[in-house]
Structure 1
Amino acid sequence: MSMRNSPLPDALRSVPVEVIENYVGSQIAMFANGLAHRLGQHGYHIPTDVYKESAREVFQLLISDPSPRRMPQRVQDLQLVFRHDCLALGCLVPSCKLCKHNPSRRCAVNFDKKYLVNDVLKAKCQAVIRVEVVERATNQPIDTCDLREEIILQMAILDGNTYDAKFEAGMEGDFESCLLLMNNKGSPTLVGTAVSNDANGFIRVPLSSSRAVLPDLRVTDSSEAMLSGRKPPLRLMMRAVYKDSSLPVPHIRHAISEGFVVATRRTRTAGEGGHSVCG
Protein backbone atom coordinates (compact mmCIF):
# COMPACT_ATOMS: atom_id res chain seq x y z
CA MET A 1 0.00 0.00 0.00
CA SER A 2 1.39 3.41 -1.00
CA MET A 3 0.74 6.35 1.31
CA ARG A 4 2.17 9.86 1.39
CA ASN A 5 2.90 11.71 4.60
CA SER A 6 1.68 15.28 4.92
CA PRO A 7 4.27 17.94 5.82
CA LEU A 8 4.37 18.70 9.53
CA PRO A 9 2.69 22.04 10.38
CA ASP A 10 5.09 24.82 11.36
CA ALA A 11 3.55 25.11 14.82
CA LEU A 12 4.50 21.48 15.62
CA ARG A 13 8.09 21.49 14.39
CA SER A 14 9.53 22.04 17.86
CA VAL A 15 7.57 19.12 19.39
CA PRO A 16 9.53 15.83 19.67
CA VAL A 17 8.44 13.17 17.19
CA GLU A 18 7.66 10.56 19.83
CA VAL A 19 5.24 12.94 21.60
CA ILE A 20 3.32 13.60 18.38
CA GLU A 21 3.25 9.91 17.42
CA ASN A 22 2.02 8.79 20.84
CA TYR A 23 -0.77 11.35 20.82
CA VAL A 24 -1.86 10.67 17.23
CA GLY A 25 -1.75 6.91 17.83
CA SER A 26 -4.06 7.17 20.85
CA GLN A 27 -6.50 9.37 18.92
CA ILE A 28 -6.58 6.90 16.00
CA ALA A 29 -7.33 4.04 18.40
CA MET A 30 -10.25 6.03 19.87
CA PHE A 31 -11.49 6.83 16.37
CA ALA A 32 -11.36 3.16 15.31
CA ASN A 33 -13.35 2.15 18.39
CA GLY A 34 -15.98 4.82 17.76
CA LEU A 35 -16.19 3.98 14.05
CA ALA A 36 -16.76 0.29 14.77
CA HIS A 37 -19.55 1.16 17.23
CA ARG A 38 -21.19 3.57 14.78
CA LEU A 39 -21.08 1.12 11.86
CA GLY A 40 -22.56 -1.55 14.09
CA GLN A 41 -25.58 0.70 14.61
CA HIS A 42 -26.00 0.74 10.84
CA GLY A 43 -25.89 -3.05 10.57
CA TYR A 44 -22.21 -3.50 9.69
CA HIS A 45 -21.14 -5.91 12.40
CA ILE A 46 -17.34 -6.07 12.24
CA PRO A 47 -15.58 -6.75 15.55
CA THR A 48 -14.15 -3.65 17.20
CA ASP A 49 -10.81 -5.36 17.65
CA VAL A 50 -10.51 -5.77 13.87
CA TYR A 51 -10.92 -2.02 13.35
CA LYS A 52 -8.47 -1.19 16.12
CA GLU A 53 -5.84 -3.64 14.91
CA SER A 54 -6.22 -2.44 11.30
CA ALA A 55 -5.86 1.18 12.40
CA ARG A 56 -2.75 0.28 14.42
CA GLU A 57 -1.16 -1.49 11.44
CA VAL A 58 -1.81 1.44 9.10
CA PHE A 59 -0.41 3.88 11.67
CA GLN A 60 2.74 1.78 12.04
CA LEU A 61 3.20 1.89 8.26
CA LEU A 62 2.95 5.67 8.33
CA ILE A 63 5.45 6.26 11.13
CA SER A 64 7.93 3.75 9.71
CA ASP A 65 8.13 5.72 6.45
CA PRO A 66 11.70 7.11 6.23
CA SER A 67 10.44 10.33 4.65
CA PRO A 68 12.70 13.37 5.18
CA ARG A 69 9.58 15.28 6.15
CA ARG A 70 9.66 13.62 9.57
CA MET A 71 11.38 15.76 12.16
CA PRO A 72 14.54 14.48 13.85
CA GLN A 73 14.01 13.24 17.38
CA ARG A 74 16.42 15.77 18.85
CA VAL A 75 15.63 19.41 18.19
CA GLN A 76 18.82 21.44 18.42
CA ASP A 77 18.94 24.61 20.48
CA LEU A 78 20.43 27.05 18.00
CA GLN A 79 21.34 30.74 17.89
CA LEU A 80 21.96 33.28 15.14
CA VAL A 81 25.06 35.40 15.77
CA PHE A 82 26.69 38.32 13.95
CA ARG A 83 30.44 38.01 13.31
CA HIS A 84 33.17 39.53 11.15
CA ASP A 85 36.87 39.06 10.47
CA CYS A 86 38.41 42.30 11.66
CA LEU A 87 40.70 43.96 9.13
CA ALA A 88 42.58 46.00 11.73
CA LEU A 89 46.11 44.96 12.70
CA GLY A 90 46.14 46.22 16.28
CA CYS A 91 44.95 44.49 19.44
CA LEU A 92 42.25 44.99 22.07
CA VAL A 93 44.59 45.40 25.07
CA PRO A 94 44.23 49.00 26.39
CA SER A 95 47.70 48.97 27.96
CA CYS A 96 49.50 47.77 24.82
CA LYS A 97 52.30 50.27 24.13
CA LEU A 98 52.61 49.24 20.50
CA CYS A 99 48.93 49.90 19.81
CA LYS A 100 48.47 52.90 22.13
CA HIS A 101 48.73 55.41 19.29
CA ASN A 102 47.78 53.05 16.50
CA PRO A 103 44.48 54.14 14.91
CA SER A 104 44.01 50.62 13.59
CA ARG A 105 42.74 48.99 16.80
CA ARG A 106 40.73 45.82 16.46
CA CYS A 107 36.94 46.02 16.67
CA ALA A 108 35.38 45.15 20.01
CA VAL A 109 31.90 44.81 18.44
CA ASN A 110 30.54 43.90 15.02
CA PHE A 111 28.67 47.07 14.03
CA ASP A 112 29.98 50.62 13.95
CA LYS A 113 28.56 53.19 16.38
CA LYS A 114 27.51 55.59 13.63
CA TYR A 115 26.48 55.42 9.99
CA LEU A 116 25.17 57.96 7.54
CA VAL A 117 21.91 57.51 5.66
CA ASN A 118 22.38 54.90 2.91
CA ASP A 119 25.78 53.79 4.20
CA VAL A 120 26.35 50.03 3.89
CA LEU A 121 26.18 48.45 7.34
CA LYS A 122 29.72 47.15 7.86
CA ALA A 123 32.06 46.81 10.79
CA LYS A 124 34.05 49.91 11.77
CA CYS A 125 37.14 48.38 10.14
CA GLN A 126 35.05 48.11 6.92
CA ALA A 127 34.92 44.32 7.05
CA VAL A 128 31.71 42.71 5.86
CA ILE A 129 29.48 41.24 8.56
CA ARG A 130 28.14 37.71 8.39
CA VAL A 131 25.56 35.72 10.31
CA GLU A 132 26.25 32.23 11.63
CA VAL A 133 23.99 29.54 13.04
CA VAL A 134 25.62 28.12 16.15
CA GLU A 135 24.69 25.66 18.88
CA ARG A 136 23.95 27.68 22.00
CA ALA A 137 25.68 25.14 24.24
CA THR A 138 29.00 25.24 22.35
CA ASN A 139 28.83 28.50 20.35
CA GLN A 140 30.14 26.49 17.38
CA PRO A 141 28.63 26.61 13.86
CA ILE A 142 26.39 23.70 13.01
CA ASP A 143 26.67 21.36 10.05
CA THR A 144 24.93 22.49 6.87
CA CYS A 145 22.82 19.33 6.86
CA ASP A 146 21.04 20.48 10.02
CA LEU A 147 19.26 23.27 8.11
CA ARG A 148 16.22 22.80 5.94
CA GLU A 149 15.30 24.52 2.70
CA GLU A 150 12.05 25.92 4.11
CA ILE A 151 13.93 28.16 6.60
CA ILE A 152 14.93 31.69 5.55
CA LEU A 153 16.33 34.76 7.31
CA GLN A 154 14.17 37.81 7.99
CA MET A 155 15.74 41.20 8.78
CA ALA A 156 14.44 44.55 9.99
CA ILE A 157 15.46 47.66 11.92
CA LEU A 158 14.37 48.06 15.55
CA ASP A 159 13.88 51.10 17.77
CA GLY A 160 16.86 50.58 20.06
CA ASN A 161 15.43 52.36 23.11
CA THR A 162 12.14 50.45 22.97
CA TYR A 163 14.00 47.18 22.53
CA ASP A 164 16.27 47.92 25.51
CA ALA A 165 13.23 48.67 27.68
CA LYS A 166 11.59 45.38 26.68
CA PHE A 167 14.82 43.48 27.29
CA GLU A 168 15.03 44.84 30.83
CA ALA A 169 11.38 43.90 31.38
CA GLY A 170 11.99 40.33 30.19
CA MET A 171 10.05 40.84 26.94
CA GLU A 172 13.00 40.70 24.56
CA GLY A 173 11.31 38.40 22.05
CA ASP A 174 8.38 40.80 21.55
CA PHE A 175 9.54 42.75 18.49
CA GLU A 176 6.28 44.09 17.15
CA SER A 177 6.32 47.43 18.98
CA CYS A 178 10.06 47.85 18.24
CA LEU A 179 9.90 47.40 14.48
CA LEU A 180 10.70 50.31 12.18
CA LEU A 181 9.68 48.74 8.89
CA MET A 182 8.83 51.98 7.07
CA ASN A 183 10.44 55.41 7.30
CA ASN A 184 8.56 58.71 7.47
CA LYS A 185 8.39 58.81 3.67
CA GLY A 186 6.52 55.53 3.52
CA SER A 187 9.38 53.53 2.01
CA PRO A 188 11.22 50.60 3.64
CA THR A 189 13.62 51.60 6.40
CA LEU A 190 16.04 48.79 5.57
CA VAL A 191 16.98 48.06 1.96
CA GLY A 192 19.74 46.02 0.36
CA THR A 193 21.58 45.27 -2.85
CA ALA A 194 20.34 42.19 -4.76
CA VAL A 195 17.60 41.60 -2.16
CA SER A 196 14.03 42.84 -1.98
CA ASN A 197 11.52 43.76 0.71
CA ASP A 198 8.31 41.84 1.26
CA ALA A 199 4.92 43.52 1.50
CA ASN A 200 5.49 44.37 5.18
CA GLY A 201 8.97 45.84 4.67
CA PHE A 202 11.07 42.90 5.93
CA ILE A 203 14.11 41.78 3.97
CA ARG A 204 14.14 38.02 3.39
CA VAL A 205 17.24 36.10 2.31
CA PRO A 206 17.83 32.35 1.87
CA LEU A 207 19.71 30.36 4.49
CA SER A 208 21.55 27.73 2.47
CA SER A 209 24.32 26.96 4.95
CA SER A 210 25.30 27.58 8.56
CA ARG A 211 26.76 30.98 7.67
CA ALA A 212 25.86 33.76 5.26
CA VAL A 213 27.41 37.13 4.46
CA LEU A 214 24.97 39.98 4.97
CA PRO A 215 23.87 41.66 1.75
CA ASP A 216 24.80 45.33 1.36
CA LEU A 217 22.19 46.60 3.83
CA ARG A 218 21.43 50.32 4.10
CA VAL A 219 19.18 52.40 6.37
CA THR A 220 17.19 54.90 4.32
CA ASP A 221 16.47 57.57 6.96
CA SER A 222 18.15 59.05 10.00
CA SER A 223 17.51 57.93 13.56
CA GLU A 224 16.32 61.38 14.63
CA ALA A 225 13.90 61.63 11.70
CA MET A 226 12.19 58.38 12.71
CA LEU A 227 12.47 58.61 16.51
CA SER A 228 12.32 61.29 19.18
CA GLY A 229 15.27 62.19 21.34
CA ARG A 230 18.89 63.02 20.71
CA LYS A 231 20.75 60.43 18.65
CA PRO A 232 18.31 57.57 19.36
CA PRO A 233 19.93 54.20 18.63
CA LEU A 234 18.77 51.65 16.08
CA ARG A 235 19.43 47.91 16.04
CA LEU A 236 19.40 45.31 13.29
CA MET A 237 17.18 42.31 14.02
CA MET A 238 17.63 38.99 12.24
CA ARG A 239 15.53 35.90 12.85
CA ALA A 240 14.92 32.55 11.19
CA VAL A 241 11.39 32.05 9.87
CA TYR A 242 9.57 29.44 7.82
CA LYS A 243 9.43 30.45 4.16
CA ASP A 244 5.73 29.74 3.64
CA SER A 245 4.22 31.11 6.85
CA SER A 246 6.86 33.62 8.07
CA LEU A 247 6.41 32.16 11.57
CA PRO A 248 9.60 32.21 13.67
CA VAL A 249 11.53 28.93 13.89
CA PRO A 250 11.17 28.14 17.62
CA HIS A 251 14.52 26.36 18.10
CA ILE A 252 16.66 29.06 16.40
CA ARG A 253 17.11 32.14 18.57
CA HIS A 254 17.25 35.53 16.86
CA ALA A 255 20.24 37.87 16.61
CA ILE A 256 20.20 41.54 17.61
CA SER A 257 23.01 43.90 16.66
CA GLU A 258 24.69 46.44 18.90
CA GLY A 259 23.00 49.84 18.90
CA PHE A 260 24.04 52.35 16.26
CA VAL A 261 23.02 55.83 15.14
CA VAL A 262 22.18 56.82 11.57
CA ALA A 263 22.72 60.50 10.76
CA THR A 264 21.89 62.61 7.73
CA ARG A 265 24.76 63.28 5.37
CA ARG A 266 24.68 67.03 5.92
CA THR A 267 25.81 66.45 9.54
CA ARG A 268 29.17 65.07 8.43
CA THR A 269 31.94 67.49 9.28
CA ALA A 270 34.50 68.57 6.75
CA GLY A 271 37.21 66.44 8.34
CA GLU A 272 35.25 63.19 8.04
CA GLY A 273 35.80 61.60 4.69
CA GLY A 274 34.17 58.32 5.75
CA HIS A 275 34.46 55.68 8.42
CA SER A 276 37.84 55.56 10.09
CA VAL A 277 39.53 52.28 10.90
CA CYS A 278 38.94 50.74 14.29
CA GLY A 279 40.07 52.95 17.12
Structure 2
Amino acid sequence: MFRALLREPSGLIGVILIGLLVGCALVSLVWTPYDPTLVDPAAAWTPPFTGGHLLGADGSGRDLFSQLLAGARITTVAAVAATVVAGVVGVGLAVLAAVGRRSGEVVARLIDVLVALPTLLLAMVLSAVYGGSVVTAVVAIGIGTGVNVARVGRAEMTSALSTDYVLAARTSGASTARIVRRHVLPNVAPVLLVQLSLTLALAVLAEAALSYLGFGTAPPTPSWGRMLQDLQVFVTVHPWAVVWPGAAITAAVLGFSLVGDALRDVTDPRLQRQVTVGEVLA
Protein backbone atom coordinates (compact mmCIF):
# COMPACT_ATOMS: atom_id res chain seq x y z
CA MET A 1 0.00 0.00 0.00
CA PHE A 2 2.85 2.37 0.81
CA ARG A 3 4.47 1.78 -2.57
CA ALA A 4 1.13 2.34 -4.29
CA LEU A 5 0.73 5.52 -2.24
CA LEU A 6 4.08 6.84 -3.45
CA ARG A 7 3.11 6.17 -7.05
CA GLU A 8 0.25 8.65 -6.65
CA PRO A 9 1.49 12.25 -7.22
CA SER A 10 -0.68 13.57 -4.41
CA GLY A 11 0.47 10.78 -2.12
CA LEU A 12 4.13 11.47 -2.83
CA ILE A 13 3.75 15.20 -2.15
CA GLY A 14 1.77 14.48 1.00
CA VAL A 15 4.36 12.03 2.32
CA ILE A 16 7.13 14.59 1.70
CA LEU A 17 5.23 17.31 3.58
CA ILE A 18 4.45 14.97 6.48
CA GLY A 19 8.08 13.87 6.52
CA LEU A 20 9.17 17.49 6.86
CA LEU A 21 6.74 18.00 9.74
CA VAL A 22 7.89 14.89 11.60
CA GLY A 23 11.54 15.69 10.83
CA CYS A 24 11.21 19.19 12.31
CA ALA A 25 9.48 17.76 15.38
CA LEU A 26 12.27 15.22 15.92
CA VAL A 27 15.03 17.78 15.36
CA SER A 28 13.44 20.13 17.90
CA LEU A 29 13.84 17.45 20.57
CA VAL A 30 17.62 17.74 20.45
CA TRP A 31 18.40 21.07 18.78
CA THR A 32 17.05 24.53 18.04
CA PRO A 33 19.19 27.52 16.98
CA TYR A 34 17.95 29.48 20.01
CA ASP A 35 15.78 28.86 23.02
CA PRO A 36 12.26 29.30 21.56
CA THR A 37 11.15 31.20 24.67
CA LEU A 38 14.29 33.35 24.98
CA VAL A 39 13.42 37.07 24.95
CA ASP A 40 16.09 39.32 23.42
CA PRO A 41 14.90 42.96 23.10
CA ALA A 42 18.01 43.84 21.09
CA ALA A 43 16.92 41.40 18.35
CA ALA A 44 13.30 42.61 18.13
CA TRP A 45 11.94 42.43 14.55
CA THR A 46 15.21 41.26 13.09
CA PRO A 47 14.52 40.66 9.37
CA PRO A 48 14.98 37.17 7.91
CA PHE A 49 18.52 35.98 7.08
CA THR A 50 20.14 38.68 9.21
CA GLY A 51 21.67 38.78 12.68
CA GLY A 52 21.92 35.00 12.88
CA HIS A 53 18.14 34.57 12.66
CA LEU A 54 17.22 32.45 9.64
CA LEU A 55 13.55 33.50 9.53
CA GLY A 56 13.89 36.63 11.64
CA ALA A 57 12.71 37.41 15.15
CA ASP A 58 9.41 38.66 16.59
CA GLY A 59 8.75 41.79 18.63
CA SER A 60 10.21 40.20 21.75
CA GLY A 61 13.36 39.09 19.95
CA ARG A 62 12.39 35.39 19.97
CA ASP A 63 13.80 33.44 17.04
CA LEU A 64 10.97 32.49 14.66
CA PHE A 65 12.73 29.46 13.21
CA SER A 66 13.25 27.99 16.69
CA GLN A 67 9.59 28.61 17.50
CA LEU A 68 8.52 26.87 14.28
CA LEU A 69 10.63 23.81 15.12
CA ALA A 70 9.22 23.62 18.65
CA GLY A 71 5.72 24.28 17.35
CA ALA A 72 6.07 21.34 14.96
CA ARG A 73 6.56 19.07 17.97
CA ILE A 74 3.40 20.35 19.63
CA THR A 75 1.42 20.07 16.40
CA THR A 76 2.60 16.52 15.68
CA VAL A 77 1.93 15.23 19.19
CA ALA A 78 -1.48 16.93 19.39
CA ALA A 79 -2.57 15.70 15.95
CA VAL A 80 -1.48 12.10 16.55
CA ALA A 81 -2.94 11.99 20.08
CA ALA A 82 -6.24 13.51 18.92
CA THR A 83 -6.43 10.99 16.06
CA VAL A 84 -5.84 8.10 18.47
CA VAL A 85 -8.69 9.40 20.65
CA ALA A 86 -10.86 9.81 17.54
CA GLY A 87 -10.07 6.26 16.45
CA VAL A 88 -10.95 4.76 19.82
CA VAL A 89 -14.14 6.81 20.18
CA GLY A 90 -15.17 6.44 16.54
CA VAL A 91 -14.57 2.70 16.15
CA GLY A 92 -16.10 1.98 19.55
CA LEU A 93 -19.29 3.92 18.80
CA ALA A 94 -19.47 2.47 15.27
CA VAL A 95 -19.28 -1.10 16.57
CA LEU A 96 -21.93 -0.45 19.23
CA ALA A 97 -24.24 1.23 16.72
CA ALA A 98 -23.79 -1.48 14.07
CA VAL A 99 -23.99 -4.68 16.11
CA GLY A 100 -26.09 -3.62 19.09
CA ARG A 101 -29.65 -4.87 18.88
CA ARG A 102 -31.37 -2.70 21.45
CA SER A 103 -28.62 -0.21 22.12
CA GLY A 104 -27.63 0.22 18.48
CA GLU A 105 -30.38 2.68 17.66
CA VAL A 106 -29.68 4.69 20.82
CA VAL A 107 -25.96 4.92 19.98
CA ALA A 108 -26.80 5.87 16.38
CA ARG A 109 -28.96 8.75 17.59
CA LEU A 110 -26.18 9.78 20.00
CA ILE A 111 -23.76 9.92 17.06
CA ASP A 112 -26.20 12.13 15.14
CA VAL A 113 -26.42 14.52 18.11
CA LEU A 114 -22.65 14.68 18.61
CA VAL A 115 -22.02 15.28 14.90
CA ALA A 116 -24.07 18.47 15.19
CA LEU A 117 -21.81 19.75 18.00
CA PRO A 118 -18.91 21.82 16.58
CA THR A 119 -15.47 20.63 17.66
CA LEU A 120 -14.21 24.13 18.50
CA LEU A 121 -17.28 24.83 20.64
CA LEU A 122 -16.75 21.60 22.55
CA ALA A 123 -13.10 22.54 23.10
CA MET A 124 -14.07 25.98 24.39
CA VAL A 125 -16.53 24.45 26.85
CA LEU A 126 -13.98 21.93 28.12
CA SER A 127 -11.34 24.68 28.37
CA ALA A 128 -13.71 26.84 30.40
CA VAL A 129 -14.30 23.94 32.81
CA TYR A 130 -10.85 22.34 32.99
CA GLY A 131 -8.61 25.16 31.74
CA GLY A 132 -6.93 25.60 28.39
CA SER A 133 -4.16 23.08 27.72
CA VAL A 134 -2.90 20.68 25.09
CA VAL A 135 -4.61 17.76 26.87
CA THR A 136 -7.98 19.53 26.85
CA ALA A 137 -7.58 20.41 23.17
CA VAL A 138 -6.59 16.84 22.28
CA VAL A 139 -9.60 15.35 24.08
CA ALA A 140 -12.01 17.84 22.53
CA ILE A 141 -10.59 17.41 19.03
CA GLY A 142 -10.57 13.62 19.42
CA ILE A 143 -14.20 13.45 20.50
CA GLY A 144 -15.34 16.02 17.92
CA THR A 145 -13.66 14.25 15.01
CA GLY A 146 -14.28 10.77 16.41
CA VAL A 147 -18.03 11.05 15.90
CA ASN A 148 -17.44 11.63 12.18
CA VAL A 149 -15.34 8.46 12.12
CA ALA A 150 -18.17 6.70 13.95
CA ARG A 151 -20.76 7.84 11.41
CA VAL A 152 -18.70 6.60 8.47
CA GLY A 153 -17.69 3.41 10.28
CA ARG A 154 -21.26 2.59 11.25
CA ALA A 155 -22.42 2.79 7.64
CA GLU A 156 -19.58 0.58 6.43
CA MET A 157 -20.01 -1.94 9.24
CA THR A 158 -23.76 -2.17 8.69
CA SER A 159 -23.10 -2.92 5.03
CA ALA A 160 -20.47 -5.55 5.91
CA LEU A 161 -22.78 -7.26 8.41
CA SER A 162 -25.32 -7.89 5.64
CA THR A 163 -22.89 -9.76 3.39
CA ASP A 164 -23.16 -13.50 2.70
CA TYR A 165 -19.92 -14.47 4.44
CA VAL A 166 -21.04 -12.77 7.67
CA LEU A 167 -24.41 -14.56 7.47
CA ALA A 168 -22.54 -17.82 6.93
CA ALA A 169 -20.35 -17.12 9.97
CA ARG A 170 -23.44 -16.48 12.09
CA THR A 171 -25.02 -19.69 10.86
CA SER A 172 -21.90 -21.62 11.84
CA GLY A 173 -22.28 -20.36 15.39
CA ALA A 174 -19.58 -17.64 15.47
CA SER A 175 -20.01 -15.10 18.24
CA THR A 176 -20.63 -11.41 17.53
CA ALA A 177 -17.20 -10.47 18.85
CA ARG A 178 -15.52 -13.00 16.55
CA ILE A 179 -17.52 -11.81 13.54
CA VAL A 180 -16.56 -8.19 14.21
CA ARG A 181 -12.89 -9.08 14.76
CA ARG A 182 -12.45 -11.54 11.89
CA HIS A 183 -14.86 -10.33 9.21
CA VAL A 184 -16.10 -6.78 9.80
CA LEU A 185 -13.10 -4.75 11.00
CA PRO A 186 -10.64 -6.09 8.36
CA ASN A 187 -13.08 -5.16 5.60
CA VAL A 188 -13.81 -1.64 6.85
CA ALA A 189 -10.20 -0.93 7.88
CA PRO A 190 -9.24 0.78 4.57
CA VAL A 191 -12.17 3.20 4.86
CA LEU A 192 -11.37 3.93 8.50
CA LEU A 193 -7.70 4.43 7.63
CA VAL A 194 -8.62 7.07 5.05
CA GLN A 195 -10.97 8.75 7.51
CA LEU A 196 -8.32 8.85 10.23
CA SER A 197 -5.72 10.29 7.86
CA LEU A 198 -8.13 13.12 7.09
CA THR A 199 -8.75 13.44 10.83
CA LEU A 200 -5.05 14.23 11.23
CA ALA A 201 -5.48 17.23 8.93
CA LEU A 202 -8.52 18.40 10.87
CA ALA A 203 -6.64 17.95 14.15
CA VAL A 204 -3.73 20.11 12.97
CA LEU A 205 -6.13 22.87 11.90
CA ALA A 206 -8.23 22.60 15.06
CA GLU A 207 -5.19 22.71 17.37
CA ALA A 208 -3.89 25.81 15.59
CA ALA A 209 -7.32 27.45 15.79
CA LEU A 210 -7.68 26.69 19.50
CA SER A 211 -4.20 28.03 20.27
CA TYR A 212 -4.97 31.12 18.20
CA LEU A 213 -8.15 31.69 20.23
CA GLY A 214 -6.32 31.10 23.51
CA PHE A 215 -7.89 27.72 24.34
CA GLY A 216 -4.99 25.49 23.31
CA THR A 217 -1.30 25.57 24.14
CA ALA A 218 -0.59 27.77 27.12
CA PRO A 219 2.22 30.34 26.93
CA PRO A 220 5.18 30.37 26.84
CA THR A 221 5.10 27.00 25.05
CA PRO A 222 5.55 27.73 21.32
CA SER A 223 2.65 26.86 19.04
CA TRP A 224 1.93 27.80 15.44
CA GLY A 225 -1.54 29.05 16.33
CA ARG A 226 -0.22 31.12 19.24
CA MET A 227 2.47 32.55 16.97
CA LEU A 228 -0.27 33.78 14.63
CA GLN A 229 -2.12 35.29 17.58
CA ASP A 230 0.97 37.15 18.78
CA LEU A 231 1.99 38.38 15.32
CA GLN A 232 -1.39 39.34 13.86
CA VAL A 233 -1.26 42.79 15.48
CA PHE A 234 1.85 43.61 13.46
CA VAL A 235 0.75 42.11 10.16
CA THR A 236 0.67 45.49 8.41
CA VAL A 237 4.09 46.52 9.73
CA HIS A 238 5.97 43.21 9.57
CA PRO A 239 3.94 40.95 7.24
CA TRP A 240 6.87 38.59 6.68
CA ALA A 241 6.66 37.38 10.29
CA VAL A 242 3.11 36.04 9.85
CA VAL A 243 4.03 34.13 6.70
CA TRP A 244 6.07 31.44 8.46
CA PRO A 245 3.50 29.98 10.91
CA GLY A 246 0.75 30.37 8.30
CA ALA A 247 2.81 28.48 5.73
CA ALA A 248 3.67 25.77 8.28
CA ILE A 249 0.00 25.17 9.16
CA THR A 250 -0.96 25.13 5.48
CA ALA A 251 1.78 22.65 4.59
CA ALA A 252 0.88 20.27 7.44
CA VAL A 253 -2.85 20.31 6.66
CA LEU A 254 -2.17 19.93 2.95
CA GLY A 255 0.18 16.99 3.55
CA PHE A 256 -2.31 14.98 5.60
CA SER A 257 -5.16 15.85 3.21
CA LEU A 258 -3.18 14.73 0.15
CA VAL A 259 -2.23 11.46 1.83
CA GLY A 260 -5.88 10.87 2.74
CA ASP A 261 -7.00 11.46 -0.84
CA ALA A 262 -4.27 9.19 -2.17
CA LEU A 263 -5.17 6.45 0.33
CA ARG A 264 -8.77 6.63 -0.83
CA ASP A 265 -7.67 6.17 -4.44
CA VAL A 266 -5.35 3.28 -3.53
CA THR A 267 -7.76 1.38 -1.25
CA ASP A 268 -11.04 1.90 -3.13
CA PRO A 269 -11.52 -1.18 -5.38
CA ARG A 270 -14.08 0.66 -7.49
CA LEU A 271 -11.49 3.23 -8.49
CA GLN A 272 -8.99 0.47 -9.17
CA ARG A 273 -11.46 -1.26 -11.50
CA GLN A 274 -12.09 1.99 -13.34
CA VAL A 275 -8.36 2.44 -13.89
CA THR A 276 -7.98 -1.12 -15.13
CA VAL A 277 -10.86 -0.81 -17.59
CA GLY A 278 -9.49 2.51 -18.83
CA GLU A 279 -6.07 0.98 -19.43
CA VAL A 280 -7.63 -1.93 -21.33
CA LEU A 281 -9.67 0.39 -23.54
CA ALA A 282 -6.59 2.50 -24.20
Name the TM tier (shorter chain). under 0.3
**Per chain length, whose mean CA-contact separation is higher, i.e. which structure has more relative contact order (CA < 8 Å, sep 6+)?**
2
> Whose strand fraction is larger, Structure 1's or Structure 2's?
1
Q: What TM-score results when the alignment is normalised by the length of structure 1?
A: 0.23
Q: Highest CA radius of gyration, 1 or 2?
A: 1
